[in-house]
Amino acid sequence: MHRTFIPGIAPPEVQSQPAWWFAFAGNKLLVRVEGRVSYIPNLISLSEIGLMPVRSQFLGTLDDRPCYSAELPKDAVIADGMTLQGLRELYSTLDEDLYALSSRAIQIMEWDRTHQYCGQCATLTTQLPNERAKRCPKCGLVNYPRLSPAVIVLISRGEEILLARASRFPPGMYGLIAGFVEPGESLEETIVREVREEVGIEVKDIRYFGSQPWPFPNSLMIGFTAIYASGNIVIDPQELEDAAWFSKDSLPLIPPKLSIARKLLDWFVSTD
């Protein structure tokens, strides 16, 4: 982040200064849109715009300003000048630091919503005071926010890179091979398996690149690079519509900036 975010559990005893409110109705975030820019509400309380959240969670501070996530009721009446938008829609219109916090907020909000009761004995859970966890007072089961690790890999063959297209992508867009880590797998084993399953080739020289929280719904995307080793492209039609090798000088439509896929692609194009 460009600004300083400090995670926190316990909110201020008195909320006396404006805070960032990441308020969600379902999976849509409350924002004010002006032209091509979206803004997060900056208020002492959501009551200032006529909203009463079902529950809220303190996230921490961004440059000493409190940040909260909040779950809005289904019948919430949205104030004039504000709207609800999905995080994918906000990808290019929201400040990068606030987008990252929106990703954190929706995951914590959803975890809080779905862990009100113990999954083992159905007792009402309690929030632990010093960590992001819920404990069952009856059986002692502790639940932390769920995180689903996934890998994404840029596969190169000389000056070419392998790009693939899934049916859910916007028209004409291609991206990188990605997939969730299965129980018992290392990250490297996941890459080998996913690449083999989706495009039928083998890779080598797998190297870590970077990571990115990805709130769709609760992933941590872990980026790698790899080099083509052998095999011909044979796509899994249940996963992909197409896959092909592309020259770094002649790429199709690719994912937008902020995504780790784009960071991998930009890095590869810029290397000699």
Specify binding-site residues for Zn(2+).
118, 121, 136, 139
Amino acid, res. 19 = A
Q: Which residues are annotated as a binding site for a divalent metal cation?
A: 178, 194, 198, 239
Q: Which residues are annotated as a binding site?
A: 88, 118, 121, 131, 136, 139, 144, 178, 194, 198, 212-219, 239, 261
Burial class, 9, CB count within 10 angstroms (exposed 0-12 / middle 13-18 / buried 19+) = middle
Q: Which residues are annotated as a binding site for substrate?
A: 88, 131, 144, 212-219, 261
